[in-house]
Structure 1
Amino acid sequence: MQLEVLLPARIFLQKAEVLRIVAETAEGSFGLLPRRLDCVAALPPGILTFETLAEGEVFMAVDQGVLVKTGDDVRVSVRRAMLGKDLAGLRKAVEQEFLALDDEARSMREALNKLEAGFVSGFAHLKKVAP
């Protein structure tokens, strides 16, 4: 099978000769083998596992998205993805990424609050000045 993982702004991963894929859905995990029927699945945040002869088993943390299998092509489109050879290392990487995203979101909220406060203050001042 051919595996392609797409992020909003770029292609994250392209792998040829994938032997098997295991994905998680809200209903549970399911496996994809080369001759499986075509399918579509909604993916919640979780772990997607794939195996190649060259690399063996590889784990990928994915944010929510969708998986589409047509013929030998499997396309996964998600918001974010991270690769890891072992689950413990992948967990640490995901935790660090989420902490960084939390800090970024917090600073964006602070900037938005300042912008809103400035707008309200300017609008109140404009209302006082207007006849």
Structure 2
Amino acid sequence: MTHVVAETSEGSYGFLPNRLDCVAPLTPGILTFNCEKDGEIFVAVDEGVLIKTGNTVLVSVRSAILGTDLATLRSAVDKEFLVLNEQAQQVRTVMAKLESSFLNRFRL
């Protein structure tokens, strides 16, 4: 790895090897890194955390999609993350119904 660029709650940050170690909360966005072998790589990430120690960068996120081309990655993100958003909305609807039912029974 020659460098990593990630989106955090404080903005976009670049990380270089052998610089200060850190932990950074990640927000949904594009994580970019450069490898000598593969060139520039893009990863669409959901919320998570980045930990950098020396030359090692560890990233833990709920969802990620790897790509080498931003246009292709955008298409994959639109498909994948929109499905996840629809599923999350369905779960919220079911939970609201369960909570409402529980409260109605509790009042009796």
TM-score over 0.5 for the pair:
yes
Cα 1:110–1:35 change in 2 (3 A) is closer
Equivalent residue, structure 1, for 2:55: 72
Give the one of 67, 70, 73 matched to 1:90.
73
1:54 equivalent in alignment to 2:37: yes
Give the one of 102, 107, 114 matched to 2:85.
102
What pairs with 1:1-131 in structure 2 (closer than 5 Å)? Answer: 18-108=1-91
Cα 1:110–1:56 change in 2 (3 A) is same
Task: State the Cα distance separating 1:118 from its structure 2 match.
Answer: 8.6
Cα 1:34–1:100 change in 2 (3 A) is same
Larger radius of gyration: 1
Deviations 1:14-54 (A, max 9, x none): xxxx1111111122222111121101111111110011121
SS in 1 for 2:85: helix
The amino acid that maps onto 1:77 is S
d(CA) in 2 for partners of 1:118, 1:22: 46
Cα 1:27–1:105 change in 2 (3 A) is closer
Q: Percent identity?
A: 57
SS in 2 for 1:36: coil
For structure 2, which runs of at least 5 residues remain unmatched after alignment?
none
d(CA) in 2 for partners of 1:58, 1:89: 12
SS in 2 for 1:101: helix
Cα 1:90–1:34 change in 2 (3 A) is same
Give me the CA root mean square deviation: 2.4
What's the TM-score once normalised by structure 1's chain length?
Answer: 0.66
Cα 1:111–1:50 change in 2 (3 A) is same
